Structure 1
Amino acid sequence: MMGAAERLAEARRKAGYAEAADAIQAFGWKPSTYYGHENGSRGFKADTAKQYAKAYGVSIEWLLYGTGGNTPITVPNGLPPPEGADLVPVYDVAASAGHGVIVDAEDHVSNLAFSSKYLREMTSAKGRQLAAIRVKGDSMTPTIQDDDMVVIDMTKTNLDFDGLFVIRVGEALQIKRIGRGCRRTSVMVIADNSLYPPVDTERTEIDVVGKVIWYGRKV
């Protein structure tokens, strides 16, 4: 993943300045300071990033943090969100895309920073009403794969609507597609992988954690 110094160099090249010296001359920047910012030997703060972002035609959020699009970045606990971003807490717990993973610890370990605009397009929920967790297993392939990250809107727990939900059955978390059951009192718990047959389950046996509104994976 690129750091701020690497993004600065990329922005400069894409703006048409082949060498750092070309940009320094064009904008009148102090050479030693700029070279330090671009080679990573010196960090730069928001005020300086604002100047660079304006000069190169990029957003300050992208330059500093790599945000501004639909891809979140990880922010450690205790740090504020980047400008123009909102944080979704990441919990150290896995939802099984198989037969269920027992919850050992639901610890808040870090955060995902999403563009505020993008997050608002997905949901009106905020802060602790959202959660990000890992997925384990293969029952939801090809839609969701082992070790993917999902974001859950915990305000959406109504199983009358179809969709992907994180549910708790006993002490095990599962991620499954929910459909209409054979009875009014039941729902169909469905895996996208055809190797796993759907299971008609009484609503009273299911504790709904929330609806999946986003998923992503490492590339």
Structure 2
Amino acid sequence: MSIGGRIKELRGEMARHDFADLFGVARNTIQRYENDERTPDSVFIAALCNHFKITADWLISGEEPMHREALQPHPSLDYDYIPMVEAKLSAGGGSFVEAEGVQGYYAFRKDWLRRVATSVKDLVLMRVTGDSMTPNLQKNDTVLIDTNRKDIKEGEIYAIRYDYTIMVKRLAFRPGQKVLVISDNKTDFEPYEVAIQDLHVIGQVIFFSRSLIPEGI
């Protein structure tokens, strides 16, 4: 059963519009969640878990146990679950986060997220590819992107879409409605200017993490 099927199971006999009102979302949003046409955001996932006293692991992946009471006692930690998305373009320039692009969810402390992010529902995780941002960002690093922060600040790192490619770069304004796209690896990657209307800012990178050993070991 998919996450959409589990949401439908939780709704049970309740009318879809009543279920939507209960959680403060539109009825067609619930329909898209249940049909696996849209990936639920972390705020909705947390609301379901709190209301039905279920675990996020069960809701997201079907992993038992379903209910929190079945878990062994452990320290109470308050988490939000942020989607890891596949770095790919949507057909027709659509949304960056799509259901088929979500590879999993990762837990972050709520109190920390509220200090560093504008809104939890606007956060996504993405893997870094290539070596253009070394030494600061390396291949397979994980970056946390705040998609609500699109205003360019000189020298900050952003996830951007340009020329049919999604990438992570530093940005700086230049005269004539242009933006300078800057790689940290200046030895192999020269900075270049692009017209601001040709550049789509997905969001600002606000955190990154790195494994110190190869995956699978």
TM tier relative to shorter chain:
0.5 to 0.7
What SS does structure 2 have at the residue aligned with 1:192? coil
Q: Do the aligned partners of 1:94 and 1:133 also contact (CA within 8 Å) in 2?
A: no
Cα displacement (A) at 1:121 = 1.5
TM-score, normalised via structure 1 length: 0.56
Q: Which residue of structure 1 aligns with residue 73 of structure 2?
A: 49
Instruction: Go from structure 1 to structure 2 and tell me whether the alpha carbon gap of 1:201 and 1:116 turns closer, same or farther (over 3 Å shift).
Output: same
What SS does structure 1 have at the residue aligned with 2:113? helix
Letter matched to residue 134 of structure 2:
T
Q: Percent identity?
A: 27
The residue correspondences of 1:195-206 to structure 2 (distance < 5 A) are 195=187, 196-206=189-199
Instruction: Go from structure 1 to structure 2 and tell me whether the alpha carbon gap of 1:158 and 1:184 turns closer, same or farther (over 3 Å shift).
Output: farther
Q: Give the distance between the partners of 2:153 and 2:112, measured in 1 at CA.
A: 26
Q: Which residue of structure 1 aligns with residue 61 of structure 2?
A: none
The residue correspondences of 1:1-219 to structure 2 (distance < 5 A) are 48-50=72-74, 59-61=75-77, 84-93=78-87, 107-127=101-121, 129-181=122-174, 183-195=175-187, 196-219=189-212
Supply the RMSD in Å over aligned alpha carbons: 2.5
Structure 1 or 2, whichever has the larger Rg, is: 1
What SS does structure 2 have at the residue aligned with 1:93? coil
What SS does structure 2 have at the residue aligned with 1:218? coil
Q: Do the aligned partners of 1:187 and 1:203 also contact (CA within 8 Å) in 2?
A: yes
Q: Do the aligned partners of 2:113 and 2:120 also contact (CA within 8 Å) in 1?
A: no
What SS does structure 1 have at the residue aligned with 2:112? helix
What SS does structure 2 have at the residue aligned with 1:49? coil
Q: Do the aligned partners of 1:89 and 1:108 also contact (CA within 8 Å) in 2?
A: yes
Q: Which residue of structure 2 aligns with residue 7 of structure 1?
A: none
Instruction: Go from structure 1 to structure 2 and tell me whether the alpha carbon gap of 1:94 and 1:215 turns closer, same or farther (over 3 Å shift).
Output: farther
Aligned length in residues: 137
Q: Which residue of structure 1 aligns with residue 54 of structure 2?
A: none
Cα displacement (A) at 1:180 = 2.8
Q: Give the distance between the partners of 1:148 and 1:160, measured in 2 at CA.
A: 22
Cα displacement (A) at 1:125 = 1.3
Gapped regions of structure 2 (runs ≥ 5): 1-64, 90-95, 213-217
Q: Do the aligned partners of 1:151 and 1:214 also contact (CA within 8 Å) in 2?
A: yes
Cα displacement (A) at 1:47 = 7.1
TM-score, normalised via structure 2 length: 0.57
Gapped regions of structure 1 (runs ≥ 5): 1-42, 51-58, 62-83, 96-102
Cα displacement (A) at 1:45 = 5.7
